[in-house]
Structure 1
């Protein structure tokens, strides 16, 4: 069993919540608390949430994590 990791990021809109909800519906689990930071270049708040998932495959840097 291999544990894989993703960091989901998005502007602070409902799109971020939908991105995290989609990952959870595909078997990913929350890892830690979400983070928010102000992006001075764009003038927007950004959100981030780490997620992990156990898979039955060997890890490869070529794998598309979002498709696992």
Structure 2
């Protein structure tokens, strides 16, 4: 997951959101409306969950020899 636990990615995403809000002041309300319309769960913790699952052996591809590839995280 990296040494910072995903902090750098979250900071980058927050910066991108701030830039978007300059031109789209209703961004957060529109996201919430879309999330509710699609019946999606809250997005909190998704990056951490993705990293945790990607590091797990169950989701790694299997080689022709039958063993799994090593984690890239």
Q: Give the shorter-chain TM-score range.
A: under 0.3
Q: Please identify which structure carries the higher strand content.
A: 1
Compute the TM-score of the two structures, normalised by the length of structure 2.
Answer: 0.24
Compute the TM-score of the two structures, normalised by the length of structure 1.
Answer: 0.25
Larger Rg: 2
